[in-house]
Amino acid sequence: MFHRHPFLSLVTFCYLGFVVWLTLTPNPSGSGWSSLSMRVLARLQREDGFEWLTFERAEFLANVALFVPVGLFLLLLFGTRWWWVAGLGCFVATSLIENVQRTIPGRVSDERDVVANTLGGLVGVLIGVVLTLGSEVRRARARRAQRLTRAG
């Protein structure tokens, strides 16, 4: 699998490394990111139509968005036929992350993150299935035609 798609494998591992860095490094107290994100959120909430965007909802949506590429990359590596392995991989990865976060200072493990990350991964899998559907149909037709040629 990895030797057939070296560039995709490299991009996948780089993105997974980013996810690991983002989720498993200690969260220093007083970091500028939290105050920046709170200011951006406060600014958005003042706009019409964004009153619903609470911190908890924004965090949930960010967790969904973080795992969309993971699902897409895993689907592309495993193939459309193994879409369920890509989805299961997203669930396993996020479960591992949340369990490891319990031991890291400044990190908070939350079951909602497992739901959000898995949902994001499944969205990525679905996007991958839709994007590869045409080529999968062409390959299936070619295999069917080849079988008919051999049989006849």
What is the reported pTM?
Answer: 0.80
- What is the DSSP annotation of 29-77? TT-HHHHHHHHHHHHHHTSTT-TT--HHHHHHHHHHHHHHHHHHHHHHH
What ranges do the domains of the chain cover? Answer: 6-22+54-151
Read off the pLDDT of residues 92-135 as tens digits, 9 standing for 90 and up.
999 999 999 999 888 888 999 999 999 999 999 999 999 998 88
Asked if residue 101 lies in contact with residue 111, where contact means CB atoms within 8 angstroms, the answer is no
Instruction: With cut-offs at 50, 70 and 90, classify the pLDDT of residue 3.
Output: low
| Tens digit of each residue's pLDDT (9 = 90 or more) over 139-149 | 888 888 888 88
**Dihedral sign, Cα of residue 74, residue 77, residue 78, residue 80:** positive
